[in-house]
Amino acid sequence: MNPVQLSIFANRLAGICDEMGALLRASALSPNIKDRLDLSCALFDAAGQLCAQAAHIPVHLGSMAYAMADLVGQRDWAAGDLLVVNDPYLGGTHLPDVTVVAPVLVAGELIGFAVTRAHHANIGAHSPGSMPVSRTLEEEGLVIAPQWLKRRGEWQVPLCRRLAGLDGPGPLPVDVPRFADFAAQASSCLAGAHRLAELAGERGAEWVAAAMGALNRYGERRMRQRLAALRDGVYRFRDWMDDDGQGHRDIAIAVTLTVDGERAHLDFSDSAGQVDGNINCPLSVAAAAAYYCFRCLLPDDAPSCAGLFRPITLEAPEGSLVNARRPGAVAAGNVETSSRIVDVVLGALAQAEPEAIPAASQGTMNNLAMGEGGERPWDYYETMAGGTGGHALGPGLSAVHSHMTNTLNTPIESLEEHYPLRVWRYRLRRGSGGEGHHRGGDGIERELEFLAPARFTLLTERRHHRPWGLASGGAGAAGENRLNGELLPAKVSAHAKSGDRLLLASPGGGGYGPEKGHQGRR
């Protein structure tokens, strides 16, 4: 393919992914998907190699790119099939992130897959929001091994009822709100499959397969060229998780990055072992975080495909924090440990090309899950913005989601309409960004009042170890969690009474470079 043809093809695939995301957002019911946009959409070739993705959630799509080949291989795919899975040890992230896969067949020939992944606030954990302070995977909710959600166009009703939270036999739960988001994912997948089949109908299945191969080879060439521009060498960086929620503190994540010509190797062997709490993560999540860092080295016009990641290899001992064994708990590994993996990989890359890398961003998603049972049960989950790191060209951004999450905030109007909550404070946390020639961005303060009794869970980080600065820039401020003014741990599950107020203050980003007139100051 010539460059013009390849560019048109890449943008057409990306457009299909964007359309899938728009349809999923429009047809979902939960604020998690329709307001926060905690969703991802992608297209894969017949071998399970990523070919295109929309600019959604990096941790979703990197992990899918790492594990899809094993997930879709050796299955008897038929028209109208939908596969569903959320098992973190089989290519998932954590249990609330559910993946739905639709095959694309043209004249009976498999040419690819359309895939969605979306966050479900209720996946069956005993803790509201399905983000508990857990010790085992089973405590975190329903584990869905790969199985048919639809088979040859027919809904698999017993599974659908389990996903809807219903016991025993009965009809398809079309009127159950909890099932609506699964149906929305199914519609989005089928729409993507239809669009890709249309393209194959125009140009031929063989042409599409050849174009997908050419796209991935081009992506590999782009990444090899970028790696070759880095300074060869061995670079090490270490950072720490605050705690695991089970009494263990200052848990190390360390990487040794080897850049050798057109290849890069990441070795996490010096990281801590698997812990009792839920900050463990499967290797697919660690890979997603690492891939994301290298993707950020490339300009926007580079295709987001599996070829980009072929020159990058990973090594991590099984049973470590970043390559956990079943049944280790992983609810926070996907959201918090992935953020720290980004920090250490970027810290290593900053030694290979200092002016290309920013200081540390907030390094946490500030996870808040809450809800209550009873006659009018409700579940809610959100992540919160913070500051990003300053960099060689300017200051960091304030009040944004960064790195492994790409969600939006939940608008106050939507939050107060759907749940017994009132927002008392929602503002910038002035001065929380690290000092430096280019300051880090500021975090936020968000204070919620409970209008009814509820149980809440916090899974947060950077409450002890602050986001680091670069080139003698200062660290960003650590985050804080408070209930009625009293300081809370970084990871906690507790009950709130009507009238209680919960405040989350998110970290600021690290600063870059020494302040003017303070050249020796760190």
Where do the DSSP E strands lie in 261-362? 263-267, 312-315
How far apart CA 143 and CA 126 sit, in angstroms, is: 14
| Eight-state DSSP code of residue 248 | -
pLDDT of residue 367: 96
CB atoms within 10 A of CB 110: 18
Looking at the DSSP bridge assignments, the partners of residue 131 are none
Instruction: Give Cβ neighbours of residue 246 (< 8 Å, ≥ 6 apart).
Output: 133, 135, 275, 276, 277
pLDDT of residue 61: 63
Backbone angles phi, psi at 509, to 5 degrees: -80, 160
pLDDT of residue 522: 33
Backbone angles phi, psi at 293, to 5 degrees: -60, -40
Classified as helix, coil or strand, 20 is: helix
Question: Which residue, among 20, 45, 44, 46, has the nearest Cα to 118 in the 3D structure?
Answer: 20
How far apart CA 411 and CA 405 sit, in angstroms, is: 17
Tokens encoding 250:
């200052």
Is the pTM for the entire model greater than 0.75?
yes
Contact of 71 with 101, CB cutoff 8 Å: yes
- C-alpha triplet 133, 137, 139: angle, nearest 5°: 55
Instruction: Give Cβ neighbours of residue 432 (< 8 Å, ≥ 6 apart).
Output: 387, 442, 443, 476, 477, 505, 506, 507, 508
The full DSSP string for 171-208 is S--TT-HHHHHHHHHHHHHHHHHHHHHHHHHHH-HHHH
Q: Over the chain (522 residues), what is each successive 10-residue block's mean pLDDT?
A: 92 95 94 88 94 78 75 91 94 90 95 94 90 95 96 97 93 92 97 97 94 97 97 98 97 98 98 98 92 93 92 97 96 96 98 96 97 88 96 97 87 93 97 98 98 97 98 98 98 97 98 75 35
pLDDT of residue 126: 87
CB atoms within 10 A of CB 501: 16
CB atoms within 10 A of CB 158: 12
pLDDT of residue 519: 47
The full DSSP string for 377-446 is -EEEEE---B----BTTBPPPSSB--TT--PPPPPHHHHHHHSSEEEEEEEEETT-SPPSSBPPPPEEEE
